[in-house]
Structure 1
Amino acid sequence: MPKPPAGKESSMETHRRSSGDSATRRQKVRGIFERFDLNGDGALDRSEMAALFAAVNPTLQFTSDQISSIIDEVFRSYSDFIGHPSSGLSLDGLFQTYADGAGDLDRDFAALSLSNENPDMINTLSNRYRYPKLAPTWLSSPNHGVTHDSTWKVIEELEIAIRAKIRARAAKFSPKDSTFADGFSEVWCSTDLGFELERKGAEFVFKEKSSEFRVLLQELKEIRAKIDSLPIMEEAFDGHLAIGRTLFERHLFMLALESFRRALELRPMDVRPHFRIGNTFWFLGHIKEAKDSFLAALELAERDSLQWSGLLPQIHVNLGIVMEAEGLVINASEHYREAAILFPNHYRALKLLGSALFGVGEYEPAEKALQEAVLLKPDYPDAHCDLGCVFHAMKEEEKAILAFQRAIDLKPDHLDALYNLGSLLLSAGRHKRAAEMFGRAVTINPDHWKAQLNRGISLFGAGELNEAKKALTEALMITNRIELYDAIQHLKQSKRKKPKDERPNWVAVDASKFMTADESTTDQKCLSDALWIREIQKATKLGRCDATLLKMEMETYQFPVSSSDRSVRKAEVEVLLHRLLHFLRPDTFRDAIKAIDEKIWYVLHITGSGKIDLGMFFAVIAPICGGSPERRKRAAFDSLSWQPSRNELQRQFSSVDVYAYIRNLRMVYFPSQQFSDLMEITGEGDGIGISFHEFINMFDNIDHGFGIMSTLLKLEKGAKVHRSRHSCGVCRYRISNIMFKEVKAKFCLCANCYSECKVPSAFEEEDEYRFKECLFD
């Protein structure tokens, strides 16, 4: 039964075809029918039809939605043979499907291992080899993939052994002493297609040193020996794969891994054991091994995409999840997108795609993907919650509130939605409602110190001072983070009544009034630009990557043979950056990629291609990487001279390349300045190669290059200096790094207030201010 029927024949044609069928042919249909009529009601319902369809197509992998669509078509076409929708297709109806050519009866009969049996014995055999009475939950999937009768027996034998050990273990202890683990309501990996851990309730955890576990190991050894003794390799493969899935479902991951590996040894070119091994490694926490297994599964599946059309979307989704766990969000989004292309109704792939795109700051495509996910599955709370996050990032607060509320309506204990909604309500000044949301979040997770802190702030805003104090005290008991002390201090200041005519203790004056006392003092405008560059450096984490590593990457990177330029996909650049910033945690790396995308890649995107000039990218980031100024400049020069055709560096390159580089450099690091094309200033480039010395002169130009390097180095050095005993006369914070002292009035400013031309209100009337720069070692 490999395909749905195209339609019914006329009654005359049906009668003629039926009258020509032999009794043996009808007996074959009856044998198939009775094998899958598990409840014995004389009809095949949807689940029984799904099991039949999967069993007669053992080499094809279909999703549950694909099978459901086929069954819908069968039931519509043969509605005359369905007494009641809940009962299903009758024996005559199944016979008619084969008579109409909807399936190959002999092929299906052989696929079910019935071809060598006497038709008179089919009924007896079907009763003997029905689904096990004690079956693991993964068998409830119509796409379980079991193809041999011997496998049903070992599945039931293993399930009986496991349940017996659970009963024996439970009998020794009172319920309060039993060891249980939480069930999975929403597994981080895809569950609708690939993983079978989406179930509710508690799951028994075996103690590896217990006597029950040792006995189970011995019985498992005997079951595996029976499978290995099977004369047909396909049966042994089917058996090892099946008991592996049973062990996996019971969280016996190491035992499951051994079974999947045995299956892999029997059929190394089969996609399924690679996929199952990847799933198992993921739950064991071995991310690299899981990734390697999924990549192997993907390579094999893409060789025969027709056979593995149902499994390919699952592989892409789970591979994307593993990559996202490594911090490779852009690569993950590509796999989610591919899964959604292969299976457009894969709502979980669309949700994951939207979440990944949101993580790298691509809000509009993230919104589109999440909208499609909730359209396919309106009761998907996680998708609504992530959609609310996207709306918030796009400044559409009302839409965000509605999305978070929808997620909470669907799942009242959705922690993220409660916290996010509370934050939005707090920002909108709706303090009582915000306090309610944060309170519900704390009830779900009493250790959520941020929710407890914000609950205290909300209660304070609502005028409930005693309750606010209790909430802040609870937050302090959970953690001593500095944010709590800052918040409490702010609340204390807000509580004090201020005179109506009270003014800020500072004013911002015209930049022309700020003068330098000597040449060693940094100009206010120059410092402002350096602070902006420093923020980019900190957000991207590139200051922690030595510039010399860029050259090492260039020496080892292999462009495609046919490549004539240095343009590569952002996903490839992400992998490269992952090596350079390997010391970052995955979440920190994701934030760094988002910053790089927002602050650097937007300038370097090759129009319409979605690619980046890798050499230009290296040259642009070199000035904010670690190392001495000379090493950074050399890295930029080498990056511009990188030639993909020979994958090596040249001694010289065209001055036109330098003009383009300086232009990109200033667009990234000096966005507030009006850019004037260097070609207009210095004349048209003649295409003649320039030396490193000439490049340095252009790079160090204060007006048209990156002549701000010395100031940036001061700020970098200051990040390692402890706070001094001096306080800023404007913001009152202790000054670290660079201090600017007004030579006449004697007040001091921190770097930020100096760059913003702020002075204390007492000195507002001064005509000019002269500052001397002081550095703290």
Structure 2
Amino acid sequence: MSDPEPIPLQKVRRIFTYFDANQDGGLSREEMATLVVAVNPRVKFSTQQVDAILDEVFRTYQDFIQGPEGLSFDGLLRTYEDGAGDVDRDFEALKLVLDSNKSVGTTSTMVPSITDERVTVARLARRTDHMPVWAPSNIVYDSSWCLVEDLLIIIKRLEARMGNVLSKLRDRKVLASESFGSSEASWSIESTPKVGVSNPPWEELGEDYDDFCHELAEITQKADGLSTADEVLDALIAIGWTLFDHALYREALASFMKARDCKALDARPHFHLGNTLYRLGRYDEARDCYTSSLDAAEAADNPWRHLVPQINVNLGITLEADGMLLSACENYKKATRLSPKHYRALKLLGSALYGVGQYRAAERALSEATSLKPDFADAHCDLGLTVHAIGEDDERAIREFQLAVDLKPDHVEALYNLGGLFKDIGRYRRAAEMYSKVLTLQPNNWRAQLNKGVTLLGAGETEEARKAIKEAFKMNNRVELYDAIMHLKLAGKRPRGLCDAIKQVDGDASPIGKSLVEGAEGGVMVVETSCFRQANKLTTPCQWLFHALDIRCFQRHTRLSRCSVYDLKKKLEESKLPASSSVCKDKLEDLLRKLLHFLKPDTFQGSVKAINERILSVLDQAGVGQVDVGMFCAMLAPLCAGHIEKRKRVAFDFLLERASKGTIKAELSRADASMYMKILRAIYMPQQGVSQITELHGEAEQGTITISDFEALFDDPDWGFGILDVVVKLEASDRVRHDGQICTVCSYPITGPWFKEVTSNFSLCSLCYSECKVPISAKKNEYCFKEYNSEAEVIKDKFWFLNLWSSSV
């Protein structure tokens, strides 16, 4: 004899049979609509609300849809297991009874496997959506329903007043219109909103809003006076839910805070508080609430353990909103381990991994998300970005972007990035079509307008291209447009005729027109490094400058030059991370967030991505996710702000603390110093090759060195990091402009070091000089350069020449 079914399973089967009117083994849309209305007798659903619920159910559980028959029994069971409803409450509302022959035990002794209340998943993961329409069905007590009905009445009254006020405000142009500008870069992923969502301007309602607050206080007071603590908690959560669903976030916050105070060990109030604080843009507080919710939900025998995956997802989203992608990845990974089929967590994980430059791992996560949910347009778009970033299969990237567009024709990001990909591979007509579609959806997107003009030029449609570029000039201020065109020029991606088109639109005398010279007359050639000779000792060798410019670019990108080297030391002490320990990357990201506290979230994401790709990937060659804290900080120290000697001293202190493991030492082992120099060169001067680092651990270098010995080793140009002197010089002079001097090779105005060839009398910018580029018209076997880093040096040199000439006369 087989074991009887659990009571909850019997109840689901009884509900399914009750509504399967035609007994075809499935619940059609009509039968499901009857079920939804019947189990919510207190709610007056509109046709649109019911349709929205059914669309969500049939889309989410499409694997359980059996053609025209509809949702199978297993599908209905899964909806209850996922928390879309409460089987006990629904069973009681329908006044159904179980077959006594199949029932075992009594209700009073039964421990149900489906809990009294579940919070719907995947709501915050959508970020801009409200709570689902059926969320109030999770309310347990009738007393809570009564309060919610009263609350809905006063909310509708308030919203009617607010509708009139918003209309007047728009007429007065008080409210700013929404901006849907595309991302700064063609291949960026915007994974989190930039700001929280605040309440509408209720103060404009005056007495109406005061009356609402008074009535809300009366409803909350009734909730406080209910007979049991469970009823009070249920009512406060129900009130908070309803307020949250109507974008009354500040009011919802107060209700959830009272619920938390009512039952501090319950995971739900902390969870809802986190959701509300997130919507208000208070990310630090939201993070604390999610952490408290996790602690409560993960406790032994806690009835809310099923919330743990979604709490991790929401915590990850909140961390991501603050720019902390590495930390977000850890939470998404926890969610996917606990719920392997959580496709939204997999999508978010893939997007975050893309954001920190871990493209292979991102591809795996996004591929799994799309296999679990093939109609997930955002996941297909992000997968296209990732495949393109890997750079091995552009056709696959095109297919993924096209899938996203097919699933969601107004997917602006997919259209924009598909246009960028077509442009990169030279399919200009298709690219122009994509940018036209973007402009149909976003008429003020000047980047799409400029790119449309560029791609039309590439396709040979000169007149249409000029019209598009002229329209881009009308849309945007000149500085941003100038930067975008200069980026095309620098990247070598400008099509033939762009210079003439710009000049015809903006004039030869404009800054853009002047700078778009095709290049040196007769062309450019690259010569051997040995052909470049320094006129004096102050002229930087071109091979040194090449690496120094790369380091300076990394320094600017990460904003490390805006942090004092002593701030780095102070933040490490405050973080209580021992320099002698190894920690996960997300702990170091937290340290970086404190150090770069002045950066906006998206800018901080770019900094962490650059540091992860260049430093953390080298220090974690084994791929275990653990990084040596002392070595990491010693790698950052040379690039932080401060006197060059202070930078060396702090790096030495980090290495000393790392090696001492709590003991007091004044000298560093020569082996540790040598290891540091080799890793430093491998990271910032990668011609050595990262693979050689694995061979360094076995080297036996005896003895210890003092700080003075360390500085001497550091300054060694062959074995140390003597190039730091050049980097420091660039820090001081890379914004200097030289009175309109133009580089003979690239035709850019020269900023920073100016290199003048003393015999042929042509000028090079620092980049062309470092790449050994010269005009063909000045072809020689040897070139002699003099370097100027300020106008004062130029004037001083002129006076020296005049004095020399007058004395010879």
Alpha-carbon distance change, 108 to 214 in structure 1, aligned in 2, over 3 angstroms: farther
Match of 2:749 among 719, 725, 734: 734
Using the alignment, how far apart are the partners of 2:691 and 2:399 within structure 1? 46
| Structure 1 vs Structure 2 CA RMSD | 4.7
Corresponding pairs, count: 694
Whole-angstrom distance in 1 between the partners of 2:192 and 2:690: 47
The structural deviation recorded for 1:428 is: 2.5
Equivalence for 1:355: 351
**Do the aligned partners of residues 362 and 292 (structure 1) sit closer, same or farther apart at CA in structure 2, a change above 3 Å counting?**
same
Structure 1 residue 109, shift from structure 2 partner = 12
User: Which residue of the partner structure matches residue 102 of structure 2?
Assistant: 100
Amino acid at match of 1:401: I
Cα 1:362–1:103, aligned 2, differ >3 Å: closer, same or farther?
Answer: farther
Q: Deviations over 1:601-627 (max 9, x none)?
A: 222115253211111111122212211
Conserved 8 A contact 1:452-1:475: yes
Which has the larger displacement, 92-101 or 388-397? 92-101
Match 1:217 to one of 213, 219, 239 = 213
- 1:584 aligns to what? 599
Aligned-pair CA distance for 1:400: 1.0
Deviation at 1:171, TM superposition (A): 8.4
Q: Is 1:161 aligned to residue 185 of structure 2?
A: no
Using the TM superposition, give the Cα deviation of residue 227 of structure 1 relative to its aligned residue in structure 2, in angstroms: 1.4
In structure 2, the residue matched to 1:435 is 432
**What is the aligned partner in structure 2 of residue 551 from structure 1?**
569
1:82-93 correspondence to structure 2 within 5 Å:
none
Secondary structure in 2 matching 1:295: helix
2:783 corresponds to: 769
3-state secondary structure, aligned to 2:536: coil
The residue matched to 2:737 in structure 1 has which SS?
coil
Looking at structure 2, the residues matched to 775 and 180 of structure 1 have their Cα atoms a distance apart, in angstroms, of: 49
Deviation at 1:680, TM superposition (A): 11
CA contact (8 A) 1:330 1:574 kept: yes
Note if 1:607 corresponds to 2:622.
yes
User: Are 2:260 and 1:242 equivalent residues in the alignment?
Assistant: no
After superposition, residues 221-236 of structure 1 pair within 5 angstroms as 221-236=217-232
Q: TM-score, normalised by structure 1?
A: 0.79
1:1-55 deviations in whole A, cap 9, x for unaligned?
xxxx98658xxxx9xxxxxxxxxx9xxx99x999x98999999977898999999
Corresponding residue number in structure 1 for 2:768? 753
In terms of mean alpha carbon deviation, does 472-481 or 317-326 score higher? Answer: 472-481
Partner of 1:477: 474
Per-residue deviation, 1:208: 5.4
Closer, same or farther in 2 for the Cα pair 1:225/1:723, shift >3 Å?
same
1:481, distance to aligned residue in structure 2 (A): 4.0
> How much does 1:211 deviate?
4.4
Tell me the secondary structure at the aligned position of residue 612 of structure 1. strand
Alignment deviations for residues 709-737 of structure 1 (CA, whole Å, 9 cap, x no partner): 22111211112323433222212222222
Is the aligned partner of 1:462 residue 2:464?
Answer: no
1:308 to partner: Cα distance:
2.0
Q: 1:494 to 1:164 in 2, by over 3 A?
A: closer
Per the TM alignment, residue 319 of structure 1 is displaced from its structure 2 partner at its CA by 0.8
SS in 2 for 1:725: strand
TM-score normalised by structure 2 residue count = 0.76
Tell whether the 8 Å contact from 1:208 to 1:214 is kept in structure 2 after alignment: no
Alignment partners' CA distance in 2, 1:741 and 1:152: 82
1:513 aligns with 2:519: no
* CA deviations over 1:461-506 (Å, ceiling 9, x no partner): 333333323322222222124453474996443669xxxxx98522
Does the residue aligned with 2:741 lie in a helix, a strand or coil?
coil
Name the aligned partner's letter for residue 108 of structure 2. Answer: D
Identity of aligned residues (%): 39
Residues 561, 639 of structure 2: 8 Å contact kept: yes
1:629 to 644, 649, 652: 644
Aligned to 1:433, what secondary structure does the other structure show? helix
| Counterpart Cα distance in 2 of 1:555 and 1:382 | 41
1:148 maps to 2:141: yes
Provide the residue aligned with 2:86 in structure 1: none
2:68 is matched with none
Q: Aligned equivalents of 1:354 and 1:649: distance in 2?
A: 44
Deviations 1:538-576 (A, max 9, x none): 23222222212232234334248xxx9421111101110
**Aligned partners of 2:238 and 2:384: how far apart in 1?**
41
Instruction: Give the one of 274, 282, 291 matched to 1:295.
Output: 291
In structure 2, how many angstroms separate the alpha carbons of the residues matched to 1:204 and 1:248? 13
Tell me the residue number matched to 2:422. Answer: 425
- Stretch deviating more after TM superposition (297-306 or 38-47): 38-47
Where does residue 129 of structure 1 map in the other structure? Answer: none
* Aligned residue in 2 for 1:410: 407
1:697: Cα distance to partner? 1.3
Equivalents in 2 of 1:50, 1:493: separation in Å?
64
**Match for 1:261 among 249, 257, 260?**
257
Question: What is the alpha-carbon distance in structure 2 between the residues aligned to residue 531 and residue 513 of structure 1?
Answer: 20
In structure 2, stretches of 5+ residues that fail to align are 42-55, 65-70, 79-89, 115-128, 179-189, 504-519, 792-809
Aligned to 2:708: 693
Q: CA deviation at 1:378?
A: 1.1
Q: CA shift at 1:251, angstroms?
A: 0.6
1:649-668 correspondence runs (5 A): 650-668=665-683
Could you tell me how far 1:650 is from its partner in structure 2? 3.0
Decide whether the 8 Å contact of 2:161 with 2:205 is kept in 1. Answer: no
AA aligned to 2:534 is T
Separation (CA, whole Å) in 2 of partners of 1:189 and 1:107: 47
Query: Which structure has the greater CA radius of gyration?
Result: 1
Whether 2:329 is the aligned partner of 1:329: answer no
Q: In the TM superposition, what is the alpha-carbon distance from 1:756 to its structure 2 partner?
A: 1.4
1-structure distance, mates of 2:775, 2:746: 9
Of 425-434 and 258-267, the range deviating more from structure 2: 425-434
The 3-state SS of whatever aligns with 1:726 is strand
What secondary structure, in the 3-state scheme, does the structure 2 residue paired with 1:268 have? Answer: coil
Relative distance call for 1:691 and 1:480 in structure 2 (3 A) is same
1:716-731 alignment to 2 at 5 Å? 716-731=731-746
Q: Could you give the per-residue CA deviations for residues 735-754 of structure 1, whole angstroms, max 9, x where no partner exists?
A: 22212222222222221111
> Is the 8 Å Cα contact of residues 514 and 771 (structure 1) preserved in structure 2?
yes
Indicate conservation of the 8 Å contact 1:166/1:204, yes or no.
Answer: no
Distance 1:267 1:182, change over 3 A: farther
CA displacement at 1:635 relative to structure 2:
1.1
Q: Secondary structure at the match of 1:303?
A: coil
> 1:650 is paired with a residue of what secondary structure?
coil
1:598 aligns with 2:618: no
CA distance in 1, matches of 2:236, 2:258: 7
Matches within 5 A, 1:8-87: 72-73=73-74
Conservation of the 8 A alpha-carbon contact between 2:679 and 2:693: no
Distance change (3 Å), C-alpha of 1:678 and 1:361: closer
How far apart are the structure 2 equivalents of 1:72 and 1:654? 70
Cα deviation per residue 1:206-263 (whole Å; 9 max; x = unaligned)? 6652544333223222212221221212111111110110011011111111111111
1:665 Cα offset (Å): 0.9
